[in-house]
């Protein structure tokens, strides 16, 4: 089968299609014929070599954590899903390999009828990450939440899930994305100099929690929240130095040393919540662009630009 991988550190051009042996579903797993899969922003740091001193990497490195497709193999002990079912879900963090013709999923849910394959292929990772962080921050009804980097792949989902919990959401993004954020239920503002004052004007009673999806602004985010314990980042590797928790779900031997924190438990229960919200028309998955597998390098280039609105996906 075809799979996306890289065999050396470097720019997006090192990413390529390789012919590899197809995986098979083990106990408590399923295999899908992939229709679409997400491009993981975190893998940009690994591919570029930015984390080479703290994240051990074994080559070839196969990419992709989330995918959607049709079940074609069911492992031992699996119930409630059968061959031919349409699902979306995630691989294990250690196995990866979702950017391929076939992928083994360790967590999954039925593909919502309202979602295209591209939307479903880019959903699971953002849903799990957003649910994990919102759970840690205990976001609920009546709270005010700031999502830093709200127009990106995770940010767009975090906004909608927080709104669904009954929270008031302020989201930062470039001005050309402000109407888009309003359509998701957030009050938009720009990032950068003056952020603290802008957020205080929008939330004079204060902000209960900050979800940082962008990185690079932790001192301001702490000032907005009033306490580093009320800030969680998924993008800033300086978090520990600021007393902020960096949430990740990667194996400890891969990422723990880099961020100074062990992995958080994966919030796989968020997938079922997403199915319900999608069925109610309350959760959509903005897709910035879809590329064929053969153009995976172009997908990585777009992701690295950090100008994509929503998820970037590969289609099989």
Tokens of 212: 């940082």
**Cα distances (Å, whole numbers) of residue 150 to 171, 297, 304:** 5, 25, 17
Strands of 238-310 (E only): list them.
245-246, 287-292
- For residue range 104-138, what is the model confidence (pLDDT) as tens digits? 999 999 999 999 999 999 999 999 999 999 999 99
Give the pLDDT score at 249: 83
pLDDT tens column, 47-63: 999 888 877 789 999 99
**Domain extent for 215:** 127-259
- Are the C-beta atoms of 234 and 213 separated by less than 8 Å? yes
Counting residues of the chain whose pLDDT is more than 70, the rounded percentage is 97
> Which CATH number do you get for residue 64?
3.90.180.10
Where are any strands of DSSP class E within the chain?
2-6, 16-19, 30-38, 61-62, 66-74, 86-90, 102-105, 107-110, 144-148, 168-172, 187-189, 209-212, 231-233, 245-246, 287-292, 311-315
- Residues paired with 131 in a beta bridge: none
Average pLDDT over residues 138-161: 97
CB under 8 A, 24+ apart: contacts of 275-278: 275/109, 275/110, 275/112, 277/160, 277/161, 277/164, 278/112, 278/114, 278/115
In this prediction the pTM is 0.96
pLDDT of residue 303: 94
Look at residue 264 and tell me if it is in a domain: no
State residue 35's pLDDT score.
98
**6 in a structural domain:** yes
- The predicted pLDDT at position 287 comes to 97
Is residue 236 located within the same domain as residue 132?
yes
Q: Check pLDDT > 70 for residue 311.
A: yes
256 pLDDT more than 70: no
Task: Please indicate, yes or no, if residue 271 is contained in any of the structural domains.
Answer: no
Domain count along the chain: 2
CA gap 243, 146 in Å, rounded: 18
pLDDT at 254: 55
Answer yes or no: do 291 and 190 share one domain: no
Q: What is the pLDDT of residues 188-198, one digit of tens each?
A: 999 999 999 99
Task: Let me know if residue 141 belongs to a domain.
Answer: yes
User: 135 and 85: one domain?
Assistant: no
Residue 186 falls in which region: left (phi positive, over 0), alpha (psi -120 to 50) or beta: beta
CA–CA gap between residue 100 and residue 257 (Å, rounded): 29
> Could you give the count of Cα atoms lying within 13 Å of 48 in the half-sphere of its Cβ?
12
**Are 117 and 148 in the same domain?**
no
Asked if residue 225 and residue 144 are part of one domain, the reply reads yes
Cα gap 14→297, rounded to integer Å = 7
> Do 212 and 101 fall into the same domain?
no
Q: Can you give the pLDDT at residue 55? A: 76
Task: Check pLDDT > 80 for residue 143.
Answer: yes
């Amino acid at each position: 089968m075809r799979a996306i991988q890289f065999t050396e550190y470097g720019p997006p051009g090192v990413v390529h299609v390789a012919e590899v042996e197809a995986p098979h579903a083990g106990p408590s797993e399923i295999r899908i014929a992939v229709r679409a899969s997400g491009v993981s922003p975190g893998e940009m740091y690994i591919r570029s070599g930015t984390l080479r001193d703290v994240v051990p990497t074994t080559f070839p490195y196969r990419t992709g954590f989330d995918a959607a497709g049709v079940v074609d193999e069911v492992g031992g002990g699996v119930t409630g899903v059968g061959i031919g079912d349409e699902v979306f879900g995630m691989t294990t963090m250690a196995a990866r390999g979702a950017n391929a013709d076939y992928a083994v999923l360790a967590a999954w849910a039925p593909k919502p009828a309202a979602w295209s394959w591209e939307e479903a292929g880019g959903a699971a990772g953002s849903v799990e990450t957003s649910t994990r962080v919102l759970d840690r921050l205990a976001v609920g009804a009546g709270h005010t939440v700031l999502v830093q980097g709200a127009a990106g792949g995770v940010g767009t989902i975090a906004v909608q899930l927080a709104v669904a919990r009954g929270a008031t959401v302020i989201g930062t993004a470039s001005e050309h994305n402000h109407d888009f954020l309003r359509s998701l239920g957030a009050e938009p503002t720009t990032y950068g100099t003056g952020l603290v004052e802008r957020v205080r004007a929008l939330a004079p009673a204060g902000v209960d929690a900050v979800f940082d999806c962008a990185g690079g602004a932790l001192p301001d985010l702490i000032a907005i929240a009033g306490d580093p314990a009320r800030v969680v980042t998924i993008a800033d590797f300086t978090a520990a130095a600021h007393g902020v928790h960096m949430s990740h779900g990667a194996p400890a031997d891969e990422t723990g040393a880099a961020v100074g924190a062990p992995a958080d438990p994966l919030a796989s229960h968020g997938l079922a919540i997403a199915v319900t919200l999608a069925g109610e028309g309350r959760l959509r998955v903005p897709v910035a662009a879809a590329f064929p597998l053969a153009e995976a390098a172009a997908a990585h280039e777009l992701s690295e630009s950090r100008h994509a609105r929503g998820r970037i996906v590969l289609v099989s």
